[in-house]
Amino acid sequence: MSVLASSVFAGLVSVGFSGSRSPSPGASAALSALLPLVPSTGVRLSVGCARGVDAAVFSWFGSSPSLLVFSVASGRFGSGRSAFARRSSRCVLSVASGVRGLLVALPSAPVPPAGVRPCRAWRSAGGSGSWGSVALALGRGRRVLLWLPRLSRPPVWAGVSWSSRSALGSAGCWWLGVAVPAPVQLSLF
């Protein structure tokens, strides 16, 4: 994990979290091993208001003045089911773009639902939840640190490059996803 900490967390100004309401034992162990590596001072931390991953992050960083909790109960995101999507969107967008920010995601499923792909607006993500957050983050130029169970690989999405960052025993692996610019056709004349 030291390679993960030195390369992924260096120079960050913000870290956001997204994950399952019912994380697997492997995902819970991965998050528990990761949280002590996240800088707790000088870095804005963002998380939602759900049980599971959100609650674990809140429990770890709850006393930090840098923690922003995006809560549907606050009423700032409207009402109904769409309030959860607006909350998640705001949490993702609170993360700085490029190498200065990172969204940590631990989705409940090892593959995204059909139609989920990187996008610039939540309604275009094709789904909600952690995979929707991952798609929005990558579509808006944020880096994503994604935990997947053993033998799972990140989705093959156009414009996204994934690299393995750190295995966690036999339970799973962390993957770093970054949006890569589309190739530019150079003129010969």
Residue ranges in the chain assigned as alpha helix (H): 2-8, 25-34, 53-61, 82-93, 129-139
CATH fold, domain 2-179, is Rossmann fold (3.40.50)
> What integer is the mean pLDDT of 27-51?
93
The proportion of the chain whose per-residue pLDDT surpasses 90, expressed as a percent, equals 68
Task: Break the chain into its structural domains and give their ranges.
Answer: 2-179
pLDDT of 4 reads 60
95: closest CA among 129, 139, 126, 58? 139
pTM of this prediction? 0.90
- How is the beta sheet containing 14-19 ordered, strand by strand? 67-69, 44-47, 14-19, 98-106, 142-149, 172-179, 160-168
40-54, 97-111, 114-128: least confident range: 114-128
- What is the distance between the alpha carbons of residues 132 and 88, in angstroms, rounded to a whole number? 9
pLDDT of 115 reads 87
pLDDT of 61 reads 96
Whether residue 44 has pLDDT greater than 90: yes
Whether residue 3 has pLDDT greater than 70: no
pLDDT of 80 reads 86
> What integer is the mean pLDDT of 141-153?
95
- Beta-bridged to residue 18, according to DSSP, are 105
Whether residue 20 has pLDDT greater than 70: yes
pLDDT confidence band for 25 (50 / 70 / 90): very high
